[in-house]
Structure 1
Amino acid sequence: MKAVVALGILAPSVLAATVPNELFSSLVPQKILATFNDLPNPTQYPQYTDQRAGDWQYFNPNTWTSGFFPSTLYALNTRRTLCGATSRNGLGIANWLELGREASRALIPLETKNSQGHDVGFLSFPFVEELAVNPNSETAVTAINSFAKLLANRFNPTVGCTRSWDAPDPDFQVIIDNMMNLEVLFHSAELTNNDTLRTIGKKHADTTMINHIRQDGGTWHVLHYNTFTGAVTAKRTAQGFADSSTWSRGQAWGIYGYATMFKLTGKAEYRDTAVRLADYFLDHIPNDGIVPWDFNAPSPKPADSSAATIAANGLLLLSQLETTPSLKEKFSNAAIELLEKITELAWNPSWQSLLSNGTVNAPARNQLTGTVYGDYYFVKAGNELISMGLASCT
């Protein structure tokens, strides 16, 4: 069942868009509270589900996805702030802020030692949420500054990027996902007045803009640089179909990452790059509207619900940043259509995750699962739609 929501920012001639009711179902807080109550002791975090029953698989905190579940709890706190707690939305069953704080504690030891490389940006997400709620939180300030320092230490000025995966020199690997980790540098710069952190973030984005994007607007997943000369030595995929194909989740990270960089810097080239990546993404979705795990893989190809929800958030951010009404409309409508189609396919009330049909790593046959990041961006997209006046809490 769907709710038709008129878009106040659109011209009168534009038809209303369809927002899935499931975004605001009382099952959302019920499932997320159940997952919190199931967290192991010592804390482990859900990353993806099994393929048959949809049960969460839990992992050590020293994992790139560990920040997403605590961030989902914070997102429900935001939802309660936006909507209140009613019998219909089910948001009154927990103190989401306190649960978010409790679930984040196991991340604190990672501030000084972890093996996540560039993904410390993802680990910082719940602390960024905490800082928005409580700007005086010493826990959040320390975490953000610590994770930003770890990321900044991975920057190589000769290459012009922060290093993603570790490999012996002279191999310096950079993945498109890293565009989503740059934000922590800017949060820390705001806290410390260390403008070098902003410079590092912008230089990484500039270098990626030059080397990581194909002429048609698709992206490579992995670039290899020479540590000592900065020369590009290889362009390939690790999770896509082929080195020449476009892995959809990587493309989604790029859309959202460059839109975020435009928001943080106002640099028009970042906005133009986000639009270019978004156009490729939207132009290559099959006729059924379902985002595949790789746009160039042969059929039949599994979906990736996480790529859809990540891209939807990037598109909603672009819509908010745009000043041209027709482009606001284009990106918001496209986001809602992505959410509509993936909800029709992947909303699964019997699973512990909110969505099924995620592709964690198709080459490793880890697909048709729920994903913690796909669920986080599903909840976040609902919040964004409400904040933008594109959906109602009811």
Structure 2
Amino acid sequence: MAVSSLLLLVTLYATQAAQAAVPNELFSPLIPQKVLTTSESLPSPIMYPQYTNTWNVSNPGKWQDFIPDTWTSGFFPASLYALNTRKNLCGATDANALGTADWLELARSTSSGLIPLEHNNTNLQHDVGFVSFPFSEELLVNPQNQTAKDAVNAFAADLAARFNAVVGCTRSWDTPDPTDFTVIIDNMMNLEVLWASYALTGNETLKDIAITHANTTMINHFREDGSTWHVVEYNSTTGQVIRKRTSQGFSDNSTWSRGQAWAIYGFVNMYNHTQNPDFLQTAQRAATYFLDNMPSDGIVPDFNAPLVPPPRPADSSAATIAANGLLFLSQVDASQAEKWSSAAVQILSNITTLAWDPSWQSLLSNGTVNWPADNFLTGIVYGDYYYIKAGNTLIEMGTNASTSGCDTTGTSASSSAGAAGTGASKNAASRQLPSFSLPRSLQDLV
């Protein structure tokens, strides 16, 4: 592409980003209504929604539930905490439907199903960080909650035990060959549990592990253009890199968009904790690649995958994670704050137009769980969580979302559903492209 054409493209994108409006659906009354319905439908013994069935079945958009010992189990309780936060930000009115439930009580009760995992998990491996999210949220509400403290510290100890000083990383997936030390870009998100436990205990080792892991990832997971490999395999005895590949993307040389989104958020978070300018620069590079390679119709699961064949479906979860990372980046990078926040709003606007579907149990459709495993065109619990979280952040930042987010002027559940339904129908062609028992007393959480 000629330089002049590239500059024109960048200018057009910047103009679009600056003009993007915060989508009303981000604050729709359907959000608390849908989340409450899901909460009331959780089975006993408790299981957690992870993704829905796909649009091309007879009854699409229905949550599929999984046992607590699953890496995604913390996202639904965290969504309940996020709605409690929104209720505190906005108050509860008939228009915003936030008064339909006691979100804090629901968040605490559903989080109780995760408590046994702090000392008895077989499948979580490095993803104890994601599962710890609800307990960190609880500590923001009640910093003296001992159950939440114990959970955060136990999960952090689990992750720290997976650290290899020779490699300089925490191990992600266990492998039959113990010398094959696998690290995925997602692990940048799990480092937060180390920081949370460090804040509680003052254990310097936890901080040092997080910094060392980020430094190693910065060196080995990034290409020169700011894109990332999903998986890096090391030799555990020498620390040498054996192989760089993908597990969920199109090919080893492609860039998996959700992994790129994890990288943006993860390195912004590391900069926020350390003020290390290298981490900020890495986050900026990851964000720039993401924006420069984003197609006009949404977010794709592989930036380098061919359009056809096969069709390249969007990943709404990559969109919402990236939007949160960009909003976070705008808060720590004052010199480019407008650029990052405007881009985040543009992404949220694009993915809402494509994936908002009132008929589904999830908030968004068009998620890609795992492209090679043929698991796409679904709703995804972490995509929904980051959609709610982005709305909260926009309100906290005092953007023009504040009015629509808290007052929902002129918006009702029925009118929102009708408007969104029109959009869902309009984008159908795009989608065709490809009371339960608690393990521990609730009293421990209050």
Instruction: Say which of 314, 329, 342 aligns to 2:325.
Output: 314
User: Does 2:198 match 1:189?
Assistant: yes
- Per the TM alignment, residue 265 of structure 1 is displaced from its structure 2 partner at its CA by 1.1
Matched, 1:302 2:313: yes
Q: Deviations over 1:127-177 (max 9, x none)?
A: 000000000000110000000000000000000000000012210000000
Query: How much does 1:264 deviate?
Result: 1.1
**Which residue of structure 2 lines up, in the alignment, with residue 11 of structure 1?**
none
Aligned residue among 106, 122, 126 for 1:99: 106
Partner of residue 137 from structure 2, selected from 129, 132, 154: 129
Matched with 2:28 is: 25
* Corresponding residue for residue 154 of structure 1: 162
CA distance in structure 2 between the partners assigned to 1:24 and 1:335 by the alignment: 16
Aligned to 2:422: none
Whole-angstrom CA distance in 1 between matches of 2:353 and 2:18: 20
- Is 1:46 aligned to residue 49 of structure 2? yes
SS at match of 2:182: strand
Instruction: Return the letter of the residue paired with 2:358.
Output: P
What is the aligned counterpart of 1:285 among 280, 294, 306? 294
Deviation, structure 1 residue 323:
2.1
Counterpart residue type for residue 148 of structure 2 = A
Paired position in structure 1 for 2:378 = 369
Aligned equivalent of 1:68: 75
AA partner of residue 156 (structure 1): N
- Cα 1:15–1:120 shift into 2, 3 Å: closer
Structure 1 segments, 4+ long, off by >4 Å, are none
Equivalent position of 2:433 in the other structure = none
1:166 equivalent in alignment to 2:174: yes
What does residue 84 of structure 1 align with?
91
**Equivalent of 2:367, from 325, 346, 358?**
358
Paired with 1:305 and 1:387, the residues of 2 have a C-alpha distance of: 23
Distance 1:350 1:169 in 2: 46
* Matching residue of 1:332: 341
* Greater Cα shift, 16-25 or 372-381: 16-25
Paired with 2:357 and 2:41, the residues of 1 have a C-alpha distance of 19
- Alignment partners' CA distance in 2, 1:250 and 1:323: 25
- CA shift, 1:17, in A, is 3.7
C-alpha distance in structure 1 between counterparts of 2:390 and 2:296, whole Å? 23
Corresponding residue SS for 1:76: helix
1:201-212 matches, within 5 Å, as 201-212=210-221
Give me the CA root mean square deviation.
0.9
Q: Measure, in 1, the Cα distance between the counterparts of 2:19 and 2:378.
A: 32
Q: Aligned partners of 1:130, 1:370: CA distance in 2, in Å?
A: 26
Aligned residues: 378
CA distance in 1, matches of 2:188, 2:233: 16
> Offset of 1:224 from its aligned partner?
0.4
Task: Give, in angstroms, the shift of residue 16 of structure 1.
Answer: 5.0
Contact 2:20–2:349 (Cα < 8 Å) also in 1: no
- Contact 2:18/2:342 (8 A) holds in 1: no
Q: Percent identity?
A: 63
Higher relative contact order (CA 8 A, sep 6+): 2
Find the aligned partners of 1:227 and 1:191 in 2 and give their Cα distance.
Answer: 30
Secondary structure, aligned partner of 2:372? helix
Residue 6 of structure 1: aligned partner: none
State the alpha-carbon separation in 1 of the partners of residues 160 and 120 from structure 2.
15
Indicate whether 1:35 and 2:38 are aligned. yes
Q: 1:244 aligns with which of 247, 250, 253?
A: 253
